[in-house]
Structure 1
């Protein structure tokens, strides 16, 4: 291979940056846009089957939508090169970042200070969380796929590498281990389910991240041996020595977090990457001059009068709007405290608590920082959960404007706020506007998650409902006739969402002037509800009542039964 090789007619390879088991990384220039990039070449034959290559392409497309997240290396492009030099090479074009892999950092250090270890892993969790929210699982989280940039300015920024490409690596590892017993790459960070050749989900990424946190805190991986197969067996059956036992200065709650991340069963690990970040927050370094890392997490709305409120504190006193920066870890801990009442159904109280902290978050992190935006999203969501849907609409509409400016329309946070906005607009009574917001949301959800994802199907269901409630039952029927087969294939004929769609379909048939057909649909639906919920359940009783109403309506023209 020479430095004159050009991929895709635009990426000229300049110099080799590194070589590994899967391929090579080159410094290159994008001659179309006149910018330097990094190109990762997967060796011919290592991409495996067409199924694996297709998965790489799918995940690469989704990962590209994470552009702008500070903890993810931006993926610009991908393709396949069939030039005579190395036909069949898959390549990915990424932003060129100047830094060191965490592998190199670990080589030069023993156990890290607790705040630095917590900071590095918190940032990695932020990048993984954003990817998980977009439906991407990394499957090969290890120090070599974490880049530390700008170490001289307060510890550095962590960027997660190789989304999409990691799918090829992980699939190849699992297949080779299960079929031949041969280990590819390092097994030090491999979750038990991957060792067994099973599908690796989000919790597998958290296990691998836990092994890294363990190594940062103790100076060694949780399992190590000269024999790679012995390490794989340890992942399956052994319990590592607690981090606090190896290094007493590790706080007990942090050691417990590491142990939970290294749980053998995926369901025993933390619920999400965001949960990991929340539990790391108390151990982050105190740097008022540098904000903590962002977190990961759906026509403008007309004005809605909202009574003004003054900032609220836990002591019940007011605080001035003009406040100065505070210690970030302490402030984030207060945010977590503020959310606590929601766990017991006190949504309005939790929203008030968060509202009182927003001026302090803006002063400490800035108005566009992810922790500030996330607290605003939580406040708006809890406001809606408390029943104040009109107030929630105002909060969400203002937040959406900022998220579109900061992240764009398809970022996970933006998608979430767009979804919450549509839901609260509908519950506030403006079904036509709610339908429009849902309708605009669906194509972006499809682009990020795929047409068959549960998130897309659920949004389509709410779209049909809002369309029907806005006085367009015929159109609602059309939407539901397209949706029900997709729901049945994806979730099953007895899933709650499928049954709800069938209920809406029958009702809107009646509201569209077809009462006899509505009665027939309810008759068939009653049998299904009886099988799923039992003949005496409240859900079955409601369907039975709708059946009687539409039977009566089909015999005697008159009032239209409610949905």
Structure 2
């Protein structure tokens, strides 16, 4: 196929979207209706292929067209047309704007998706499967790459290329008789692997594999080759998801394990039953809060209610742009209050009618959903409110821009960072045009812009933006305003990430003094600035000063936050690092033991931070010549790492 080719005198190919083993998908324009569509074309086969194989592939392709065109559900990709042009079979589908689940995991560096996202995807896919199975159709190749989450939050199943009508046994036998792989090894049910009788419950098994991977970051059987994966599906029980993802609510772990039952009779009877199970798991239970937000019960009481997500934008403490590795000495910020940080209400009165009041109430509903981690629902609410505000007030009205700001924040929480960056930049430019460069709302959005730039790895641009926001806030709000101080702190982090430690040292010294004067010497923000000061001293080789500063901060944090708080432990580790650089290894050993013991109590023996602390301990023992003790610690760490890897498999 070639770009700009006109299919059947109607569909203009504009550019490839993707390629697979059987075909390629093109973005195209329907010249008759003037709309953008997707065109899937069956790849022509070379002369070395058997004619019978070509016939089977053509039959399978036509099969997809007939099956998909018969399905009409919001959770299934719409098929508009089907035909053949100059020997090429093609399928015309709606053009989806979004990412498939495999791409979302790649965007998230193969880390697990937020629990609320997993739940939302599970519920939408289950609804689509319930409809599909009612039509007596089994998908048979359900996998992350065949499930797309669109920009409005809708989840759609795609690619019915090997779907089977339950009553059409002869057709399926002809297809499978060719030796062509039917399905994807990581997501195939045991009965599919064994060529046994299969029904809609095979799709439920595949859905269980998909949800397991979204929740843990790895498929249930993440083994070295396809055969080992297939044997795992057939013979091996999967590791319980909570061994890899402790914050996953137990109710959802149980649902996933039942979906992954080897015997179809042990799985939910059908997608309708699964939908009821998911709805029941989401409801608040007498024993505690909504299970979608139940905290990890191994963690101490001070962690309850702390959630991951986008940082505050105004007068809050933003998170760093990436999770801190074990050797990092600056910790993520611990936030409190409203995580959105932006203005608590619309920036100007709502439209003077019932519609305006309803839109304002809906916006608050969206913010509440986002705070609870129900970001897909929040996205739908924000989109609805934005449409209403745009019609009632216009695209550049401050209230419309406030809604767009919240929508951008929510895109970040959904992991759609590129979309978040584009929208945040648009809102910042519009707010500057409408409100002025120094308006607090403009600076709030620019603060978020800097954060997203950092998340996407453009640290130099992030630093420049933080510096600009800090200067503008100082001029507009005053040097002691909490928002100004927050921007200055982020500037210090940015300088450190770029290795500009002398500049970071000067900034943290001034910021710590200002924080102490405004908030008090033991305020968490003051101690955070002082910790940054200690780190910068160490990076500049001024270890005696670094030791004194980090020791004082550790003691103050223990008084204010408790001995096992992560910030306290990070400061205690920093004192151990300084002691080691000063040759005081015996004193360092005591601190390393304290940190390792506390992390094991709080996080568990196999947690990565605990293992990193044990590694610190082993290195310190080696420095003291206690080789056998160091070897014992290293052996234990290695065993725990092997056990952790085995559970992941």
Q: Same fold (TM over 0.5)?
A: no
Q: Normalised by the shorter chain, which TM-score bucket? A: 0.3 to 0.5
TM-score by length of 1: 0.44
Question: Rg: which structure is higher?
Answer: 2
TM-score by length of 2: 0.39
